[in-house]
Amino acid sequence: MRSSFWKRFCIVAMLIFSTLQFLSAVSRELSFEVGTILESDSPYRYRYAQHPWATIKDGQTVLDLHSFDDNDCLVIQRNVEGTAWDEEHYYRFDSMEGKWHLIQNPLLDVRLSVSSPDASVTSFRYQAGTTPSKDWKFVEQGKTLIELPWFDPATLLFVQQSKDGKDWGDVYRYQYDPETKSWNVLPLASAIGRGNDSHPSRTQPKNQEPLIGLRLNISAPDTSYTSFRYQTGTIAGTEWVAVEQGKTLIELPWFDPTSLLFVQQSKDGKDWGDVYRYQYDAETKVWRVLPSSSEPERSISPFVMLLRTTESLHHIYEARYGGGVEYMQESPLHPQLMLVGDLAVSGASLNNIWIERFLILDASLGLGYRIPLMKHLNLVPSVMYGLLVHMGNADFTNDGSAKRQFYIDQQLRGSLSFEYALTERMCAVIRPEALVFFEANHIGMQYGIGAGLQFKL
């Protein structure tokens, strides 16, 4: 009993300590000495966070700031001749140094859109200061806009990116240039501020500095095109960024010079045309359009399969197993509509005395439709029509004179393929399927599953 009591006491004490430590990190009780900045007997006032303006009283030398957050700054203003208020002076508290700093020429309502050439990056976090700490602020999931109510140009903005919101990559350091009013990316600080995030980012190009603040004004010869979308990378994927309706300006705050910019256009925002590829020439600072690649996407998938028969065929065979190859190609009618064809070979042990074993050949053609479910997962329902050939040595007289027999039937096949992207050019595929085949006045049914790898050609 006594041991149990002390265990509970220790757990409660740790929780209380952790809570107090968290609260002290998030909000502090700070004091600010104003005696050194009051230059005259003119009235002064101050504010911070969401607090309204408060007057600094005569003889008051210290401001007690309650619940002061690291994101807050202290603003002090002087009244000139009792009629107008002078310019605002901003002060920030550096928790690392434990002292206040006057912000020279502060930036207010700062916005910075961050992006990654890797479409699988979905999470961003950031902080401002001179050295990154563990106090990161998170950009809303799926968003790329960093909003700062104020920023000290003498400090840096630190940004990290992640594919899953858990493992964070390199620390990118942004410095604001007041002359050009733009952000510059400093050389990588890979080992700074990573803490226990031990997985490095793979999206940063090696020995290449990212290009900052690139713009491309796109236009179509046909004025009926009103929608545009784009993405960056080496191969166009399924993750597109839409340009604001009616606009033609693409702004890239971050661009990998070794990658390409892919652009599509549409008349209604639903049906998208060809993919145009742009390459940036850093020497001439000009975008160049690469020759259009109008060839449809093609893939080939070797697979294995196992199919069971329904009760109507159990007297012949119960299951068959084998492998084959599936070919898939984008339809010229729609990029998600797929032309599908497959060839397969399988075997089956028979449940009768006339034929020992069947060799079964499948050949079918049809249509599929690729539906994106998640970032790396697609669903492709398909319907195919073809032939099913059973071959075997039959001895119906049981006299030892077996002869090769062929049974050629029409078949109708349906499947649901789940495609999971392993790399840009390879997917793992699982395919539940069922088929019906017809012979004379009889109907046979089979169902089962196939699995394989899909390779883009």
Task: Label residue 412 by pLDDT band (50, 70, 90).
Answer: very high
Higher-confidence residue: 191 or 112?
A: 112
What is the pTM for the complete model shown?
A: 0.41
Contact 69, 22 (CB under 8 A): no
Average pLDDT on 113-119 reads 72
419 and 350 assigned to the same domain: yes
Residue that wins the pLDDT comparison between 22 and 258: 258
- What does the pLDDT look like over 203-251, one tens digit per residue? 333 445 556 667 788 877 677 788 888 888 777 777 788 887 778 888 7
Q: 308 and 444: one domain?
A: yes
Q: How confident is the model at residue 3 (pLDDT cuts 50, 70, 90)?
A: low
Residue 201 has pLDDT above 70, yes or no: no
The C-alpha torsion from 52 through 53 and 56 to 61, rounded to 10°, is 60
Q: What is the CATH number of the domain that holds 395?
A: 2.40.160.20
Residue 276 pLDDT greater than 90, yes or no: no
Q: Are residues 32 and 54 in the same domain?
A: yes
pLDDT score recorded for residue 205: 38
Verify that 303 and 432 share a domain, yes or no: yes
What is the pLDDT at residue 37?
A: 65
Mean pLDDT over the full length of the chain: 77
Angstrom distance (rounded) from CA 405 to CA 400: 15
At 3, is the secondary structure helix, strand, or coil? helix
Task: Please indicate, yes or no, whether residues 325 and 435 belong to a single structural domain of this protein.
Answer: yes
Contact present, 131 and 96 (Cβ < 8 Å):
yes
The Cα-based distances of 422 to 120, 141, 349, 376, 378 in angstroms read 12, 23, 36, 8, 12
pLDDT at 16 over 70: no
Is it the case that residue 190 has pLDDT exceeding 50? no
Q: What are the pLDDT digits (tens) for 68-99?
A: 666 677 888 877 766 677 777 888 777 666 77
Q: Are residues 308 and 442 in the same domain?
A: yes
Do 124 and 222 reside in the same domain of the chain?
Answer: no
Considering the domain architecture, whether residues 226 and 348 belong to the same structural domain is answered as no
Q: What would the pLDDT profile of 422-452 be if each residue is shown by its tens digit? A: 887 899 999 999 999 887 777 888 999 999 9
Query: Is residue 180 domain-shared with residue 270, that is, in the same domain?
Result: no
Nearest of 368, 379, 361, 350 to residue 324 by alpha carbon: 361
Q: How far, in Å, are 26, 88, 229, 260 from residue 241 at the CA level?
A: 35, 39, 5, 14
Instruction: List, for residues 167-178, the tens digit of each pLDDT value.
Output: 887 788 888 777
Of 185, 204, 223, which marks where a domain is finished? Answer: 204
Write the CATH number for 61: 2.60.40
- pLDDT at residue 41, as a whole number: 66
pLDDT at 48: 77
Print the domain residue range for 193. Answer: 108-204
Total structural domains within the chain: 4
Same domain, 317 and 434: yes
Q: Are residues 434 and 302 in the same domain?
A: yes
Predicted confidence (pLDDT) per residue in 282-299, tens digit:
777 778 887 655 567 889
Domain end point (choices 233, 257, 289): 289
Which of the listed ranges 17-26, 38-47, 354-363, 424-433 does the model predict with the highest average pLDDT? Answer: 424-433
pLDDT band at residue 192, thresholds of 50, 70 and 90? very low
Q: What is the pLDDT of residues 335-374, one digit of tens each?
A: 788 999 999 999 987 777 677 778 899 999 999 999 888 8
Per residue in 315-334, pLDDT (tens digit) is 678 889 999 999 999 887 87
Average pLDDT over residues 397-405: 74
Per-residue pLDDT, averaged over 310-316, amounts to 71
Q: What's the pLDDT at 83?
A: 66
The residue type at 113: S
Q: Which of 278, 350, 345, 286 is nearest to 313 (CA)?
A: 350
Domain boundary among 183, 204, 225: 204
- Say yes or no: 340 and 368 in one domain: yes
